[in-house]
Structure 1
């Protein structure tokens, strides 16, 4: 016989229980314990249930919730608990039969409705616990965004960030306590943020405008998007390399010899579910990679400081590997023993010794061998001539 769930996750709006459907009212009336952040508890009507404030950090509350097993527990969350909310964390920690969810309209739904925007055509970002740089790939004049922020001060930080990226003309609508008696919506421009106070909870609708650089969605970002000490796979070669690596949603890349991090970063930009680990032996470049990843909105890039192949043991198995630095016979032999069958491998070489190694690898293992010659037009006196870069040889194959 299946037992009834002992955890009920209820989505609560700023109007408190008044706007809840009958099933949520019934669950609240039957609750022996109610766990919620202080703000949610303050919205409740009088109840006989034991009230427990959810601790900070959020993860500390999971053990406390588990200790209540056997009682009828209601957990209050904001709006739809499975949209940047607590629902997925609880579902991950408890069996499916132990919990149920009764959602309310999310903050994003309320915001889109206020703006008259189709929510399926709106970028929705929860930045209450994430850096504002996550916005960077979406700063384009034809997009519309709804951004959930941690508090009122973050509204000013958002305006400053948009100005710094060249999007100071962006139209903002700051929405406080949507759906409740304190609801307030304020339209303004990012570069015209007068001193004022905004109250939590707060979200902002953003229509990006300005002369800031828009990030292309094709592989091969302009080099100017990256800070570099000179060691970086340049745009034309990077575009070919990403095409050879062929990122797919959810896949993991090992970027060996990260340099400026450009390959790992563009792999992550290909899809939000993509994952990447950049391996870099130089400490100064580790910081550079992390800086570039954060600035371009993919701070989820993991950077491992150390020499490959030594530091590769113990890393999660990749779906693809790029060798941009440190290519050697020892490296190739080590990868042969580390990588699961089916792993895609791409290696670039500019020296004769490295070219010879890739030619031998191609002869033994097959795959594809490319020679890439890139020249750019440069002034030559009063005229213009082609200036060639070092030719590059690329081998790609499957383990």
Structure 2
């Protein structure tokens, strides 16, 4: 080193600091790349993404390469700085060189390049991957040796090298969707979240209750049957004999109209047009039922309990509405058939309303892990059938019973302005 001038050593030291900055920035950039965006770019044959993706297939080798290069450069820089310090200031120059080099390396070879790389990982990682790939080919034997020794020491301490997968859990995916911001329209975000929530919702949560199923007793007078068929609000009508548990099947209005046009409309022809019933066990998650509908090529099913008794009716459209929203009705409170806003700011609500639907419509927080209707929630709370004018606080909402009939609460008043979050 005596033959090399101090100015040459300073220049060489400057180059080494730049190389150290390169390794530091490359490490941060490669490790902070968005893996899913990287895969997308690689699938579109982006050259930089392809190189980076190939390097990240073995992160242990990549990190080993970068650390070998960075440590070699920093050690060499330290030696050169020490020589320069001794030449300029004698023995005290060692301390001066150590302090000065530490500050320079910290600012210009660590913090600054790593900060830039963290903010713009693709701009740093893709170009640097070209040089890293070449260095890895040259230094591969050394990198393998270092990794082998490191793995040996890890095994001594009971640590096993495990390759982590980039798969996202549902909760992580939910967070990704929420944080997408303007990249995904709010409407699409809601649909994606609804798809993720399908497994948390069962068919009982969305079914048409047994008491509200539009069904026709096939043993009624034929004129009455004829009238009920063509007044049906649904395209498929359930037929039964005397008791709805003795269901016969569904008839499509299209088939009934075809029979009428051919003047063949009778009880017997109507029964021949009936489609076989498709039964759904209660408790079936919506994601499972959606798959079952698809596999069985069905669009409507009867929900039955463990005893085979009919509990309700579910259609494919009901499940799709859980994802995309209601096809026909407005979600505005004032337009709801079950919810009517009053001048004082309170709401008169049909107590047979489904709690989940009410929560979605009004953005309320009534519990959904118990009874499915507001009437059921009230009966569970008071453990009796409350008389009119009974007041209570359900899940923090002031609720007043307005009308009771047929052993059930018919109408209630809810005052959301006086909502108080329940104590935890």
Smaller-chain TM-score bracket: under 0.3
Higher strand share: 1
Higher helix share: 2
Q: TM-score, normalised by structure 1?
A: 0.24
Q: TM-score, normalised by structure 2?
A: 0.23
